[in-house]
Structure 1
Amino acid sequence: MGEGVLMLHDLFINVTILISFLLIIGQIFKNNSFDHRQALKVQFLLGIAFGLLGIILMMFTIRITDNIIIDLRNISIICAGILGGPISAVFATILIAFFRLIYFGINTASIIAHFVALIIGLGTAYIATMKLSRRNKFIFMFLFSMLISSTALRYLIENKNGLEETVFFYWAVYILGIVLGYYTTKYIISANSNYKNMLYYRMMADNLSDTILTYKAGGKIIFVSPQVEQLSGYTQEELVGTSFYKYIYHEDIESLKKAFLNNVKTKDISTQVFRIKCKDDKYVWVELSMKVMRSNDNSIEQIICVIRDISARKEIENELRISNARFKAIFDNAGLGIVVRDNNEKIIEANTAYFHMLGYSKDEINHLSGINRFKGDEEIVDIFNKLYNDECTLCKSENCYIGKNNERICAEVTSTLIPGTEHDPIFMINIINDITERKRMEKKLKESEERFRVAFDSAVIGMCLAHINGKFFRANQALCDLLGYSQDELLNINFEQITHYDDKEKEIALVEKLLSGEIPHFILEKRYIHKNGKIIWAILGISIVYDAGNKPLYLVGQIQDITLRKFAEHELLKAKDKAEKLATVDFLTGTLNRRAFEERFNVEFSRAEREKLNMSIILADIDFFKKVNDTYGHQVGDIALQKFAQCIVNMCRPYDFVGRHGGEEFVICLPEVTSEQAIMIAERMRKAVENLHINFQNNQEKINITASFGVSSYKKVNGENINNLILRADRAMYKAKNKGRNRVCTEEDD
């Protein structure tokens, strides 16, 4: 007895966990459709949720005997396959199978349970992919899992005498769990569908132009759509919970209640026109369509209403029902043509404006009484029938009349019926507005717009229209081709997204000036970023279009591709730089040529003379260079000159400069350097040259060279000039030659 109570207790806990967890999962994933269309992320999350359910069910087992316990973890795998599909089933299976090994330890039972879960999970996943109804999938999954589980139980239970009893209990518990799981998942799927339908209908209610209102039989408002604020000035929150009749004009309440009672009897949708009170204490006319919703016991549950604002229509109707005196005054003095017809469409009366519009004089009007219609009135019969049959209360049409002189007159005709006398119970009034000029202007506007469209779409340069915030709302094909975007893609971005980072600030500043009225338009060279990432140079012209109130409407942009021109300009600059370099640089050694050196030397000498600064020069000549040419050839000699020049340049400061003075002779200018410093620099150069190895013949042979250096410095005395400075350096260099070469000398040396 005690074991039975304990088993029922465990079973109750498992069933409670199963149903509660399923309901929680249904609530969490209520926005998702439980089918193969759901996102992969959702399937994984469902797999995790059902894996956790299986783990919890394993922890709260059902004890059948002291030695035998079972759980409903396999049901969580089946539910995962039903609600989440194959991926959810597999993922839940993996979590359950490996948790079985970790939590209960590695033993025979755990290993068998591990593989049983994996087999059931894979089978469930396969069945989930089959084109079956959910019920049939549930049955197949249940039978498959029972077959695998029962086989495992027979293997695990050592006491064969208790086998049948155990299998019986297992089947009973499992069937109970499956039935509950099936109906719970069925409920979840149904609730999910209902929830989505509710969202759909709520979305429809929120986006209708009419107001949707629902109230109880006693008048308490339980729902109202957002459009009510535009209609009455009240918000949803202010209306919900209050009485519907509170906002109805007191004279209309009784008629509305009668309509409600009639609707209850007939069960049809009824329509009523009445007035409602707005928040500002004004009343507006509305048209209400009403439907009574009943519960299962046929009691009234709620009334659903669709409310439409018809204030404009009522105003027109009221205006048309003014007194005869006022109508006559308006009729006689109106600038619009007015025609009154009887129920046979015969003209009873027409005002002067009507006949003048058609080209008749006052005298001719007197002879035209009793005429049925003029050319252009052919639709009068159809309009009268529509008005008479209540298909409309106010009909508008556009007619084309032919005047007395056969001129074409376009008119906008507003027609309505008014009550007449006992003899003629109905009259039709036509109010005719001559719109010939407007039509002419509309035609011109249409032609202008067509010309603009053709020019815009066919332009060879990119053209666009953009909102004030920079977002495109129209672009021609040339711009799409230029930037690599389709029109749909281009209309979803603004100009900043396709503008090069370095050009954004300048363009934004110009747009701000344009919008503030500081400038009427601007032209800018800028870079665009093509869809594939390449840079496109373009000339951008922007102007602004204003409305009648001088308020900016939108921006007009013209974009011309100048990438090739920019490339050509760049190549021209490169060629110019190259030409200038060739004109100033010695082509063999890369140092300044003699002319360029002298120009720069003149500048430095003038600065030293003007600012009383120190300055020195070094004249260097390669020793026995003729012997190098004669022995190894001029090609090796050229290599020696290049290596020597590079060695000298490397020893210089950034603001020193080296020139080829002639042949193997080089001159180095050292601004702001004293004689002693220049001698030290020359000595470092001499040693560097002495240690220089010149390789040739593919590095198989090498030679060493030396050089003689002459140093002279600027003397801050009258009569000092460039020639004297160079001449002293030249003498010092030849003094170094005469003393045995490979040395540094000044003119003052003995």
Structure 2
Amino acid sequence: GISISTPEGKFIECNSEAYKLSDCASKEEFLNTPALEHYHDPKDRARFVELHKKGLVKDFEVRLKRKDGTTYWSSITSTEQKIGNQISYINTFQDITDRKKAEKALKKSEHKYRSLFDNMVEGFAFCKIITDENNIPVDFLYLEINDAFERLTGLEKEETVGKRVTEVIPGIEDSEPNLFEIYGKVALTGVSTKFELFFEPLKIWLSIMVYSPKKNYFVAVFDNITERKKKEDELRLHSEIMTNMSEGVNLVRLDDGIIVYTNPVFEAMFGYNPGEMIGKDIVTANAPADKTPEETKDEIMGILKETGEWHGEVNNIRKDGTPFWCYANVSVFDHPEYGKVLVSIHTDITERKKTDQKLKESEEKFRMLFESSTDGIVSVDMEGRIIDVNNAYLKMLGFSKEELLRLNFRDITPQKWHEMEDNLIASQLSGASDSVIYEKEYIKKNGTILPINARIWIIKDALGDPVMTWGIVRDITDRKKKEKEIFDLAQFPSEDPYPILRVNRNGIIYINEAGQKLLHIVDFKQIPEIFQESMKMAFEKNQITEVEVEFDSRIYSFTITPVKDANYVNIYGMDITERKRVEEKLKEVNKLKSEFLRRASHELKTPLISIKG
């Protein structure tokens, strides 16, 4: 409708649409009605006048009143013009009631949508696909995400919305190239899809449903299914374990001891054909020993009825009468068909028993060698607590065994060596070396400092975890004195019974008689090949290195000591044949120990948890 009015609110002119919108019977009725009476709220008329004072009134939305008292929404645009000598308002207005209702409904709908959107359990992302000049998807832009998206991915809304995925997750184009193809296909064709994938950039499994609300756009609704995948993997592993168990398994009725099930491994272990043991009394599996087979059965069954489980070694017998040892894990289980049954898992430990005997004999040999060694031998746990020493070690430090077993190796090591030893042990734990030889000092019981040469190596259990460290220690007080004497030229190296050389980068400067006799040096301008790599390291790192060489069935250790700022090294040789023999014996013993631990660990494991689910 169109109308002309004065600033005071008197209508001068109108068209038919104007008075019809106001439900007036005629133009005259409309013109005779003051403008104020057309407003539902008089304050809106005052606002209208104030807006005119500021300039053009455009799209002024207000509720107006009809003659019958009903209201409707109107949008008014009004300009001020001078007609004759009078200022007038030229008003254009239209009924926007339906639009306002639609807006209200939309707002209510949007509120419901936002509430649903924000409270979705699944992650939600509305995106626009980005293609290259060949219309191939190469990226996508995040337009909206919900709270669940942030929670499931760890990506914050402020750092995500309005950005390309290649900005939010750098490198995704390389780690997940198929994602662009999948999302692009949905956005460009409108064909929805659903899939699962391991999202490498975030290290999570996702179940994703993708659809396109309009071309070039897509919505991804997803859920983090990482935990579900883990459970599936556990179930798959459980199934594989049950299918491929290497242990013998049988089920025995608790009330009468009759065998109702045996797996193929159990049957082969006892020498029976498939199904042949079903229906037999479990007593047939027990070998006569200190107790009769019946007494063994009654004892185990009695414990099971009281406690519900039994674990231990049992002497079994095969069909052909051959006795053999098993370790059995037995527990009570409610079977849907057989009622209360005993689930028994048997592991043949006959070989382990033989190994036990060999280990016992080896332990005796080891203890004899351990105590008779002239070198000190010590073992410590991974916390550094001393757990065993030989007599030579006690004599070397002046402590009693009881005193040392209350100490940590740090207690007898000067502070300046702690960091170096920590680094050496860390290097061994990382697999950089099997053993390491180095020099350090001890604090004897009387407080004096003892220089020593040590070789240490770490012992691991059957699972590969470190459990202790062994060390062979030699008092090098005399050698240190000789080195000092040689360095100070206080005595001639020619008197030393072991090889001594002084070598620079060009060749041999000096070699004593013992060295010449052992090494047979002909060309003094050449560095002996056995020292070349170690000398190179000594010069480059300015640190003492050691090399072992065998001559005429004897093993020699050569310590290569760089002389600072002198551009040469002193090389001191020593016969370590006896020490190496001790080390080899220890390795043999530890190998047997490791084999024992490996077998024992395997046999003592109880896979009942897998059977019970």
TM-score, scaled relative to structure 1: 0.27
Structure whose residues are more often strand by fraction = 2
TM-score, scaled relative to structure 2: 0.33
Structure whose residues are more often helix by fraction = 1
Q: Which has the higher contact order (CA 8 A, sep 6+)?
A: 2
